[in-house]
């Protein structure tokens, strides 16, 4: 076991260096040969987070380039409105595309505001390049990319990344350009896919049938975002199709996020009794009480997380109390409106697995912080919320 002049084995140094920011890793590699060997070993780079907002400015490109071969899972952050940050992210993605043999996971996160009328073509072209080169890519997460994703990107992932296990396209764009046809091709090309994030308009009856096929590998997660006009116009999905999918994959969890763009009639089409909803986020411009009551009656066995953004009312308080009484498996609940004391007590009394909640009895300055439930062993009563 090789040791440095300070007496620390290389393996220990590597475990330390893996927690350092990129700039500090580069500095450590220049201290001595032993530190350089530890700072560039695969253990340090297996799971890597790179922030292009500051870390790549003035970085030694040769140092980073030689270490990219060891990166298996990369979380890349950048600010699209800052030219230096954006250019650094694109250059890094293009370098990865040229030598992405070991890349297994890629998560892109944009910080700050997106420039007005910015389609992100340069960024998306770089993502295309990575998808065309990373044949062993298992996980691709584009939820924090604020650009419109399209069929071409999905088809590139289908053709270039046959080993995909998860793909998340449910980002915050207000335009949905991924059609069900390209998603069907993706499912056919990527038989091991077990987690998928989409806008509602990208889903179809045929996709549910494909996921429920007898030869399909176990499917674990379907995240659906309903936020753009195309989602509001999406065709209804039969409850029978959801029931068949649930029978085929008993462990399936569905995450639903309903945004203000969704009119009431669309909400009633989305909320089908057989959908195994594990997480429900309601940020509707219309009625919220109805969906909360619907969840209480139909998702009691599956619901684990609830988030509500609505105006406070006595009817909403009553609906929340009913949901608390029925959904004993809830682990977290977050209501971004003032609730009654009886709502807080209902969740405390009926949800023994609750781990965190945002249930405010009076208005507080934003951001509202959640309360963590303190437990001794499996369960102990939560401390009173202040």
Query: Which tens digits make up the pLDDT trace of 191-203?
Result: 999 999 999 999 9
Average the pLDDT over 136-144 and give the result.
96
Query: Which tens digits make up the pLDDT trace of 279-331?
Result: 999 999 989 999 999 999 999 999 999 999 999 999 999 999 999 999 999 99
The answer, yes or no, to whether residue 204 has pLDDT greater than 80, is yes
Q: What pLDDT is recorded for position 375?
A: 62
Distance from C-alpha of 339 to C-alpha of 360, rounded to nearest angstrom: 6
pTM over the 0.75 mark: yes
Query: Which tens digits make up the pLDDT trace of 73-96?
Result: 999 999 999 998 899 899 889 988
Distance from C-alpha of 46 to C-alpha of 104, rounded to nearest angstrom: 10
Q: What pLDDT is recorded for position 18?
A: 82
Distance from C-alpha of 50 to C-alpha of 59, rounded to nearest angstrom: 12
Q: What pLDDT is recorded for position 139?
A: 98
Query: Which tens digits make up the pLDDT trace of 93-118?
Result: 998 898 766 899 999 999 988 887 88
Is residue 109 classed as helix, strand or coil in its secondary structure?
Answer: strand
To the nearest whole number, what is the mean pLDDT of the chain? 89
Cα distances from 339 to residues 315, 317, 325, in angstroms, run 11, 6, 16
Contact between 186 and 167 (Cβ < 8 Å): yes
Which two tokens mark 86?
Answer: 């954006």
Average the pLDDT over 240-258 and give the result.
97
Distance from C-alpha of 22 to C-alpha of 42, rounded to nearest angstrom: 14
Q: What pLDDT is recorded for position 54?
A: 58
The answer, yes or no, to whether residue 26 has pLDDT greater than 80, is no
Is residue 143 classed as helix, strand or coil in its secondary structure?
Answer: strand
Q: Give the gyration radius of the chain's Cα atoms.
A: 23
Q: Where are the domains of the chain?
A: 252-362
Q: What pLDDT is recorded for position 176?
A: 83
Q: What pLDDT is recorded for position 6?
A: 57
Of the listed ranges 18-32, 137-151, 238-252, the least confidently predicted one is 18-32
Banded model confidence at residue 65, pLDDT cuts 50, 70, 90: low
Of the listed ranges 65-74, 156-165, 235-244, the least confidently predicted one is 65-74
The answer, yes or no, to whether residue 382 has pLDDT greater than 80, is no
Cis check: omega of the bond before 367, within 30 degrees of 0:
yes
Contact between 270 and 256 (Cβ < 8 Å): yes
H-type alpha helices, the chain: 10-17, 22-29, 33-39, 42-45, 61-67, 83-98, 121-133, 151-160, 180-189, 205-211, 229-232, 239-248, 264-270, 289-298, 314-326, 341-350
% the chain with pLDDT above 70? 91
The answer, yes or no, to whether residue 376 has pLDDT greater than 70, is no
């Amino acid at each position: 076991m090789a040791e440095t002049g300070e007496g620390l084995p290389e393996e220990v140094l590597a475990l330390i260096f893996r927690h350092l920011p990129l700039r500090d890793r580069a500095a450590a590699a220049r201290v001595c040969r032993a530190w350089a060997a530890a700072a560039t070993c695969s253990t340090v780079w297996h799971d890597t987070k790179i922030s292009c907002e500051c870390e790549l400015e003035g970085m030694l490109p040769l140092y980073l380039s030689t270490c990219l071969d060891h990166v298996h899972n990369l979380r890349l952050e950048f600010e699209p409105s800052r030219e230096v940050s954006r250019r650094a992210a694109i250059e890094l993605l293009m370098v990865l595309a040229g030598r992405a043999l070991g890349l297994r996971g890629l998560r892109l996160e944009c910080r700050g505001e997106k420039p007005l009328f910015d389609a992100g073509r340069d960024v998306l072209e770089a993502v295309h390049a990575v998808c065309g080169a990373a044949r062993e890519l298992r996980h691709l997460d584009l939820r924090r990319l604020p650009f419109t994703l399209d069929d071409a990107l999905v088809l590139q992932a289908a053709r270039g990344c046959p080993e995909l296990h998860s793909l998340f396209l449910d980002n915050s764009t207000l335009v949905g350009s991924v059609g069900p046809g390209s998603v069907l091709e993706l499912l056919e090309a990527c038989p091991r896919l077990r987690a998928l994030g989409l806008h509602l308009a990208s889903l179809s009856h045929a996709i549910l049938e494909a996921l429920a096929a007898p030869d399909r590998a176990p499917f674990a997660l379907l995240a659906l975002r309903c936020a753009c006009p195309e989602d509001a116009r999406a065709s209804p999905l039969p409850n029978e199709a959801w029931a068949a999918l649930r029978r085929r994959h008993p462990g399936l969890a569905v995450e639903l996020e309903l945004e203000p763009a969704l009119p009431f009639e669309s909400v009633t089409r989305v909320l089908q009794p057989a959908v195994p909803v594990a997480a429900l986020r309601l940020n509707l411009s219309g009625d919220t009480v109805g969906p909360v009551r619907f969840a209480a009656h139909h998702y009691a066995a599956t619901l684990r997380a609830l988030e509500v953004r609505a105006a406070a009312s006595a009817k909403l308080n009553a609906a929340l109390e009913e949901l608390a009484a029925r959904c004993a498996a809830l682990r977290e609940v977050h209501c971004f409106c003032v609730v009654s004391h009886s709502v807080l007590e209902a969740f405390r009394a009926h949800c023994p697995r609750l781990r965190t909640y945002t249930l405010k009895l009076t208005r507080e300055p934003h951001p509202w912080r959640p309360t963590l439930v303190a437990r001794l062993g499996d369960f102990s009563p939560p401390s009173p919320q202040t």
